[in-house]
Structure 1
Amino acid sequence: MDEIILVLTNLPDRESALRVANALIESRAAACVNILAECTSVYCWRGKTETASEVPLLIKATYNTYRDIEKIIHALHPYELPEIMAVSVRDGCPDYLNWIVQATSVAKL
């Protein structure tokens, strides 16, 4: 089976989160994208502590489509340096993991 990954990113608002999520699904780079509730992020940027409201995305995909996911996020994300991190999924419901593989097997990019 292809390696399953969970990609994490944050966007500044729900509208941009929906735009990225729809592009990922329409291109079949991702099988599912969860748009979570707004959160507060605290981080260091250019030597200063910053605080921002952000909308997290959980992106379910395979490692084979990771580069497509990264390209889509970079193309649509308004930040100069968007967070894009992929985490390997070690285990899960076999039927669900197989569905992720099937849903992303024909990426349209």
Structure 2
Amino acid sequence: MSGYLQVSTTTGTRDEGVELAASAVKAGLAASAQVQGPAVSVFWHQGEYGESEEWQVTLKTSDSRYADLETHLRRAHSWDNPEISAVRLEAGSADYLAWIDRTTSV
């Protein structure tokens, strides 16, 4: 077993969020993904304050697949500089973590 991550990004539409999630899972870069929203996002972008409605995409992956997942999300995302962040999963059931390993193994 390796380490595990919960990776997130946001999109401007539900359809784009579902497309990103599906393409990452189908490519074996993530074991699963959830799309939630809409949510109000408040941010600074190019020196200006902004607010928008966004959809959050949360993906589960292994350490060994993170770099490929990040590359995939950057290429497939419609934004020039999308949020892509990861949080380490400190614990999880052995069966669940083994499932992540099986579904994301190269």
**Smaller-chain TM-score bracket:** over 0.9
What is the TM-score normalised by the length of structure 2? 0.95
Tell me how far 1:64 sits from its aligned partner: 0.6
Q: Distance in 1 between matches of 2:65 and 2:31?
A: 10
Q: What pairs with 1:76-87 in structure 2 (closer than 5 Å)?
A: 76-87=76-87
In the alignment, which residue of structure 2 is the partner of 1:32? 32
Q: Distance in 2 between matches of 1:53 and 1:76?
A: 20
Q: Which runs of 5+ in 2 are unaligned?
A: none
Q: Distance in 2 between matches of 1:46 and 1:35?
A: 26
What is the TM-score normalised by the length of structure 1? 0.93
Q: Distance in 2 between matches of 1:32 and 1:55?
A: 16
Tell me how far 1:37 sits from its aligned partner: 2.0
Runs of 4 or more above 2 Å deviation: none
Q: Which runs of 5+ in 1 are unaligned?
A: none
In the alignment, which residue of structure 1 is the partner of 2:41? 41
Aligned-residue RMSD, C-alpha = 0.9
